[in-house]
Amino acid sequence: MKRLIFLIFCGIYSFSFAQVPPKPYGPVPSARQLEWHKVEMYGLIHFTPTTFENKEWGYGDADPKIFNPAQFDAEQIVKAAKAGGLRGIVLVAKHHDGFALWPTKTTEYNITKSPFRDGKGDMVKEFADAARNNGLKFGVYCSPWDRNSPHYGTPKYLEIYREQLRELYTNYGELFMSWHDGANGGDGYYGGAREKRSIDNTVYYDWDSTWSITRELQPMANIFSDIGWDVRWVGNEKGIAGETHWATFTPKPAEGASAAVPGQANYPESPVGHRDGEFWMPAECDVPLRKGWFYHPGEKAKSVDELFSLFVQSVGRGAALDLGLAPDTRGLLDDGDVEVLRAFGQKIEETFKVNLLRAANLRASNVRGYNSIYGTKNLIDGREETYWATDDDFPTPYLTMTFSRPVTFDIFQIKENIKFGQRIEEFTLEAEENGEWREIHKGTSVGARRIVKFDSPVTATRLRLKITKCPAAVVISEMGLYKEWQVQ
């Protein structure tokens, strides 16, 4: 009887141990960051009097009366973004020129002084409504630099800026991002002074106190800036993250600065990040759809192939792609822009529609606790929350993929379950040829999503994934093989 009780106890203990999930490794994403990772691609919309001046940066002296987009249609812009595969938009509610696209109480330099909607318009509301009507997330950018305000550079302006944030945070529903950049001080109109004003951006904005307003009023809004807080700038405007991209990062002050702030940060390290970074702070890769962020008649949108390449080098490296959209003076996206976005969205949808790996027999060298809840079936079930995991003392496993007939692909995709942190540091993919394994790719970081695009198609009946360097148990949520779809 005692032996039976002992065996039952051992069985219960073993069963319980087999269901213990892996412990997190390093920093992990917050709830709002996990939601941000799901968005993957979004648009940054620049549309102010600067559009009508055919400039990139407005000086702050444009007459509000020139802002008169007679055919403005937020639905047209948002639907084009959605067709392009974008899952959110961030509206530049106020750029450096200081012109506010909502009826703010903080400055006379706002949309009510323009002919738009007979002075009764609120473009922030129209974009917010259009985004939500079409199932897209909505965020805002309110520039901290204001080339119009006579108070810029004084303590009074900080009060004005914070009140502008409060208005945007309070009146337009839940935001998924509060976007900021490092453009701080320089020449401007400044209420007619027409002079250069310099500020010490390490202290002037008192960012910790300023962003406490974000946390209070919009707790699910990810704060983007040059140095992060939730999302960091990738360090370029090419739309490309490093081949190795760590979502973890430790902001550092620029040389001679007392603190790491927007406009002064360790940009050269941002494309790659820090393997042992202190915070979960993934990169955003921003790039305009055209050459400039604002609309210019002589420019054209990037090609579908260019956009797909950017997608692979941003989203496909665990970062996000922020694509700049520029309405023209009508208040619409150019027909060419709309068509390119449609074709780009179709290319992504068609490419990742069929996972060829679902036809394979998957066998792993180790499954956590020999328990099927952590088994390889989770890799192809289309559910991000399930995962293949290994035992803690087995961080370098291999997975064999066997097909009943040859399969041809040119894209390999792998995703870690980032709720447990970013773990994989090196992996290889091999194909069997004449009974011998041949390495066809060697990679580093994985994270939220790693896309490997081969220069030419690969045909094989057996493949093997080897995790060659990982400091903790492997936790992989999804894998796939795909054939790149070509625009017809």
pLDDT tens by residue, 92-145: 999 999 999 999 999 999 999 999 999 999 999 999 999 999 999 999 999 999
Across the range 240-261, mean pLDDT stands at: 83
CATH of the domain at 328: 3.20.20.80
Across the range 209-225, mean pLDDT stands at: 95
Using the predicted structure, report yes or no on whether residue 355 has a pLDDT greater than 50.
yes
C-alpha pair distances (Å), 284 with each of 181, 299, 315, 328:
12, 24, 9, 25
- Select from 310, 330, 351 the last residue of a domain: 351
Helix (H) or strand (E) holding 79, with range, is helix 74-83
pTM of the model: 0.94
Q: Exposed, middle or buried, 234 (CB in 10 Å: 0-12/13-18/19+)?
A: buried
Residues 317, 460: one domain?
A: no
What confidence score (pLDDT) does residue 23 get? 97
Residues 327, 452: one domain?
A: no
Q: Exposed, middle or buried, 130 (CB in 10 Å: 0-12/13-18/19+)?
A: buried
Query: Using an 8 Å Cβ cutoff, are 92 and 46 in contact?
Result: yes
Using the predicted structure, report yes or no on whether residue 12 has a pLDDT greater than 60.
no
What confidence score (pLDDT) does residue 229 get? 87
Number of H helices, E strands in the chain: 9, 19
Residues 222, 340: one domain?
A: yes
Residues 412, 299: one domain?
A: no
- Select from 327, 351, 375 the last residue of a domain: 351
What confidence score (pLDDT) does residue 200 get? 86
pLDDT tier for residue 261 given thresholds of 50, 70 and 90: low
What confidence score (pLDDT) does residue 279 get? 94
pLDDT tier for residue 445 given thresholds of 50, 70 and 90: very high
Residues 136, 203: one domain?
A: yes
User: What pLDDT digit, counting tens, does each position of 394-422 carry?
Assistant: 999 999 999 999 999 999 999 999 999 99
Spatial separation of the C-alpha atoms in residues 389 and 20, rounded to whole Å:
11
User: What pLDDT digit, counting tens, does each position of 308-319 carry?
Assistant: 999 999 999 999
Residues 116, 224: one domain?
A: yes
Using the predicted structure, report yes or no on whether residue 342 has a pLDDT greater than 70.
yes
Poorest-confidence range of 114-128, 175-189, 326-340? 175-189
CATH of the domain at 382: 2.60.120.260
21 lies in some domain: no
What confidence score (pLDDT) does residue 11 get? 45
362 lies in some domain: yes
Residues 67, 186: one domain?
A: yes
Residues 184, 270: one domain?
A: yes
Mean pLDDT of the chain: 94
Dihedral sign computed on CA atoms, order 74, 77, 82, 83: positive
- Strands 137-142 and 88-94: what pairing? parallel
* CB within 8 Å of 158: residues ≥ 6 apart: 204, 205, 206, 210
338 lies in some domain: yes
Spatial separation of the C-alpha atoms in residues 160 and 180, rounded to whole Å:
16
Across the range 196-214, mean pLDDT stands at: 91
Residues 88, 199: one domain?
A: yes
Residues 93, 182: one domain?
A: yes
Give the 3-state secondary structure of residue 369.
helix
- Select from 351, 367, 383 the last residue of a domain: 351
Residues 135, 247: one domain?
A: yes
What confidence score (pLDDT) does residue 208 get? 87
pLDDT tier for residue 442 given thresholds of 50, 70 and 90: very high
Residues 65, 201: one domain?
A: yes
Residue ranges making up the domain that contains 233: 31-351
Q: What percent of the chain has pLDDT over 70?
A: 93
Residue 287 CB: number of other CB atoms within 10 A? 22
Closest by alpha carbon to 248, among 421, 443, 40? Answer: 421
23 lies in some domain: no
Spatial separation of the C-alpha atoms in residues 124 and 86, rounded to whole Å:
19
- Per the structure, the count of domains in the chain is 2
pLDDT tier for residue 253 given thresholds of 50, 70 and 90: confident
